[in-house]
Amino acid sequence: MNITMIGTGYVGLVSGSGLADFGMTVICVDKDRERIEKLRKGEISFYEPGLEELVQRNVKNGRLSFDSNLKTAVDRSLVIFVAVGTPDNGQGQTDLSQVEEVAQSLGEIIDDYKILVIKSTVPVGTNNWFKKIVQKKLKKEINIDIVSNPEFLREGSAIEDFMRPDRVVIGADSTRALAIMKDIYRSLYLIETPFVFTNLETAELIKYASNAFLATKISFINEVANICEKVGADVHQVAKAMGLDKRIGSKFLHPGPGFGGSCFPKDTHAFAYLGKKLGSPVSIVESVIKVNQNQRRVMVEKIEKAVGSVEGKMIGILGLTFKPNTSDVRESSAIDIILALLQKGAKVKAYDPAGMDEFKKAVHSINLTYERDAYSVVKGVDGLVILTEWNEFRNLDLKEVKKLMAQPLIVDLRNIYEPERMSELGYHYIGVGRGVTPA
Ligand code: NAD
């Protein structure tokens, strides 16, 4: 089966190479020619564990190739997946310009039966809208089918998520398209992955409802953590005991600086917007967004309380990406927190194992410098802030770190260390929701 994958970002490249691994012949297309040229040389523009090997393996076995010419790819394919970006337009609505551009191009190119599969996260109704745009552009009457196949992979574990998903959602209104989709995902049938077959609107909504629910868990535990600090309780024990209740589950109950990344912030906004537009507000999700924004302010206050006024102080930052094992800094809490510290007159030294190049594009200041490793960051700082829970930060030589710091103060916004051990080592250590707020 020949497939075109449009968009070679996190979702497109992982899905494209994953489908090639399932035995399909996949041509990945991107309008970013530089990206395609790099991919042809085996270079990937972002960091995702295991992706380079997966891409190389499938290029070598002849099932994966890259092209910037959409027509060549589409002419050879029965199924066209769309995995382009759907960012926030700045007002909480989804910017569908990339999706629309693809629809217009496909309308001009398609000249026989195709199945168009939308993998991008798109508001309810977009699949039908997409099909209409394509149909309007077609030069003659051609039968096309549209399928909604939202993607649930997480950056940092994207390959495992794609290869062994919790479920696959397929929204379609054509039996022919459905049969072909089942064929594409046959490998997942064999490992008994649950499939949800439904209509287009339900599939579109499943993605938003799922992300909004996960974001709700995060905002919820962050508010619990803030209460813990006021009453001397430990949020880790609260979360653990809550999670032991199977109706609640233990995942996504980790307190921290709030959710970021390319999905939760924009998808919660888009879901809240949809509710408002339909006259059925999703007030819970509206609150989740507010709590998340507030959590970043709470974290800056926490740092200020610990360090004293940050003006003129040197603050070390470990972690810039929105989560570990990715180079993605989109909507990372590090952006807001570092900007606030800089604005309050602090000087900041930062290190991240994979996200520094991307962060440099997002934040510019002469008072922000980048270091080659964690030990260079801690040298002479008045306080150290942990912003992303990369494994390498869990294993630092904390005795050495303490010697290097001007003040042995750590504000750990990801709770990667144990408070007792840190105080034994002589640190002034502050986590999130771990009993005591700094006086
Ligand atoms: P991305 O921004 O990393 O990649 C999008 C790619 O599409 C870019 O390479 C861009 O050049 C390309 N593109 C844009 N317009 C194009 C066009 N007209 N023709 C060809 N290529 C074009 O985006 P992403 O993070 O991979 O996300 C893609 C979609 O998947 C979004 O809707 C997102 O919400 C959804 N999603 C993302 C994740 C995630 O973790 N990143 C997870 C699940 C779902």
pLDDT tens-place string over residues 95-152: 999 999 999 999 999 999 999 999 999 999 999 999 999 999 999 999 999 999 999 9
**CA–CA separation, 389 vs 290, rounded Å?**
24
- The one-character DSSP state at 119 is -
**What is the distance in A from the centroid of ligand 1 to the CA of 77?**
20
For residue 6, how far is its CA from the centre of ligand 1 (angstroms)?
A: 9
Widest Cα–Cα separation across the chain: 76
Q: Is the CB of 121 under 6 A from ligand 1?
A: yes
State the distance from the centre of ligand 1 to the C-alpha of 85, rounded, in angstroms.
3
Is residue 86 within 6 Å of ligand 1 at its C-beta?
A: yes
Q: Is the CB of 95 under 6 A from ligand 1?
A: no
Contact 74, 36 (CB under 8 A): no
Contact status, residue 221 vs residue 248, Cβ threshold 8 Å: no
Tokens of 36: 């395609």
pLDDT at 435 over 90: no
**pLDDT at residue 324 above 60?**
yes
pLDDT digits (tens, 9 = 90+) for 55-65: 999 999 999 99
Residue with CA at minimum distance from ligand 1 atom 2 = 85
User: Exposure pattern of 67-78 as b/e (b: 16+ CB <10 Å)?
Assistant: bbebeebbeebe
CA distance 228 to 226: 5
- Which ligand 1 atom is nearest residue 267's CA? 34
Those residues with Cβ within 8 angstroms of residue 69's Cβ, 6 or more apart along the chain or in another chain: 29
Q: What is the 3-state secondary structure (H, E, C) of 24-86?
A: CEEEEECCCHHHHHHHHCCCCCCCCCCHHHHHHHHHHCCCEEEECCHHHHHHCCCEEEECCCC
Q: How far is CA 261 from the centre of its chain?
A: 4
Cβ–Cβ < 8 Å for 303, 383: yes
Average pLDDT, the chain: 97
Question: Ligand 1 mean position to 98 CA, how many Å?
Answer: 9
Question: Which residue has the least CA distance to atom 41 on ligand 1?
Answer: 10
Ligand 1 atom with the shortest distance to the CA of 266 = 34
- The DSSP call for residue 322 is S
Compute the distance from residue 86 Cα to the ligand 1 centre, in Å: 7
Ligand 1 close to Cβ of residue 84 (< 6 A):
yes
pTM for the model: 0.95
Q: Which atom of ligand 1 is nearest to the CA of 7?
A: 7
% of the chain surpassing 90 pLDDT:
98
Ligand 1 touching residue 102 (CB < 6 A): yes
pLDDT single digits (tens) 160-210: 999 999 999 999 999 999 999 999 999 999 999 999 999 999 999 999 999
Ligand 1 center to 112 CA (angstroms): 26
Say if ligand 1 is within 6 A of residue 88 CB.
no
| Residue numbers annotated as active site | 263
Best of 45, 99, 262 for a ligand 1 pocket test (most atoms within 8 Å of beta carbon): 262
Q: Please choose from 37, 69, 84 the residue to mutate so as to test ligand 1's pocket, defined by most ligand atoms within 8 A of CB.
A: 84
pLDDT at residue 436, as a whole number: 57
Question: Confidence class of residue 439 from pLDDT cuts 50, 70 and 90?
Answer: very low
- Cα(100) to centroid of ligand 1, in Å? 13
* Residue owning the nearest CA to atom 4 of ligand 1: 9
- Name the residue with tokens 């054509």: 174
Q: What digits encode the pLDDT tens for the residues 236-278?
A: 999 999 999 999 999 999 999 999 999 999 999 999 999 999 9
Quick check: 438 pLDDT over 50?
Answer: no
Ligand 1 binding pocket mutation candidate from 10, 45, 117 (most atoms within 8 A of CB): 10
The tens digit of pLDDT for each residue in 22-62 reads 999 999 999 999 999 999 999 999 999 999 999 999 999 99
